[in-house]
Amino acid sequence: MDDRTIEEYRREFPVVKNLIYLDHAGVAPLSLRVKTAIETFLREATEGGAFHYPAWSRRTAEIRKSCAGLIGADAGEVAFVKSTSHGLSLIAGGLDWKEGDNVVFCEKDFPSNIYPWLTLGKRGVDVRPVPHRQGKVLIADIEQRMDGRTRLVTVSSVQFSSGFRIDLERLGALCKERGALLCVDAIQSLGVVPMDVGKKKIDFLSADAHKWMIGPEGIGIFYCRKGLVGTLEPTLVGWKSVENEFDFDHPRLALKSDALRFEEGSQNLLGIIGLGAAVDLLLEVGIDNIEKRVLFLGDCIIEHLDRRGLELLTPREHGERGGGITFRGGFDPSALRDRLREKGILVNVRGGGLRVSPHFYNRPQEIERLFQAIDRLLG
């Protein structure tokens, strides 16, 4: 993307008028498109009640298709969930675990991808942690923890603390070779790193919208590979879980044959509408273009770190990192974050360092201003 294109898209984000926003790995600001889509929904709901429901249903189907396209899936493999945790819990609670099965997970992953699996201990499932090695999760370590009873391997596509990006294609091939299912928490990559669940042999995926997808909180997507839908028992069942959902007078428990069985009740239409506008913007810009831009901005950050002799905690190689760059030095990361916030610069603290996570619409000049502020505050 050239500078002119970036400037055009910056107009989509009013936050740039007030702040230098570099915390998209935390909670991202919304675009005008998302704001407009939500305001339109609110106006229609206020002025027409359920009159617009048929149009909302059609729009929901379109958004489901767009979200599926974002990850290389079919629309029937995607359910709307309220959070990444919601989707991961569907797997932990829905698989027919047997005593003696084991699940392999990353010991320093974000807690959303830890707690659902720890609860399986009471069902006789062995929960096997994989260590972090200087912020990285090595596939060799994952393989070492696997055996003939490994039912599932679960990883984050990008580690929230270090920004390390795991080779999902290689891991997916390993899991298929060993007969294990692969689950991916994609919240730290979806919207900034291309995703193809088929190519990477991913069986389950969950991601909330409020980070790199630049959507509202409280809405996300859950992917379940078509051939696995029947093996995952819904932990929640409601009127929308079944084939005859609108036949209220003749209830019959016949679960839907696709991922929509996991949407048990009335949908978060406001959130879905906002998510749809966010995904449309991402697809318009192009995920490949976004990835290149964000990696370039990451390079700019690393150059500043090198000049100042600060310690980089994120891999340098493009293929091993997502959008966030974490670093440390002779400073208190939390105190520095708070002082930067007072100056209208938003970054965060993770993994014992300061994490900077720009999106495609950020400018190199904003990175420069960040480090100028850091120099003044630490000088």
- The enclosing domain of 348 has a CATH number of 3.90.1150.10
Residues 106 and 242 in one domain: yes
- Report the pLDDT averaged over residues 102-125: 97
- Report the pLDDT averaged over residues 205-226: 98
Q: In this predicted structure, what is the pLDDT of residue 297?
A: 98
Which of 227, 252, 284 marks a domain boundary? 284
Portion of the chain with pLDDT greater than 70, in percent: 100
Q: Output the six-digit token pair for 371.
A: 């480090």
Residues 58 and 10 in one domain: no
Question: What are the angstrom distances between the C-alpha of 331 and each of 283, 334, 348, 355?
Answer: 39, 9, 14, 13
pLDDT exceeds 90 at position 137: yes
29 within a domain of the structure (yes/no):
no
- The enclosing domain of 243 has a CATH number of 3.40.640.10
Residues 104 and 162 in one domain: yes
The parent domain of residue 14 ranges over 3-22+287-378
Q: In this predicted structure, what is the pLDDT of residue 3?
A: 86
Q: Band of the pLDDT at 356, cuts 50, 70, 90? A: very high
Spell out where 96-215 has E strands: 102-106, 126-130, 150-156, 181-185, 204-208
pLDDT exceeds 90 at position 94: yes
Q: In this predicted structure, what is the pLDDT of residue 1?
A: 83
Q: CB burial class (10 A; 0-12, 13-18, 19+) of residue 248?
A: exposed
Portion of the chain with pLDDT greater than 90, in percent: 99
Q: Band of the pLDDT at 379, cuts 50, 70, 90? A: confident
Q: Band of the pLDDT at 50, cuts 50, 70, 90? A: very high
Residues 358 and 214 in one domain: no
pLDDT exceeds 90 at position 54: yes
Q: In this predicted structure, what is the pLDDT of residue 337?
A: 98
String of DSSP letters for 210-267: SSTT---TT-EEEEE-GGGGGGS--SS--GGGBTTTT-TTS----B-SSGGGG--SS-
Give the CA diameter of the chain.
73
Q: In this predicted structure, what is the pLDDT of residue 359?
A: 98
- Report the pLDDT averaged over residues 130-140: 95
Cα separation of 262 and 80, whole Å? 8
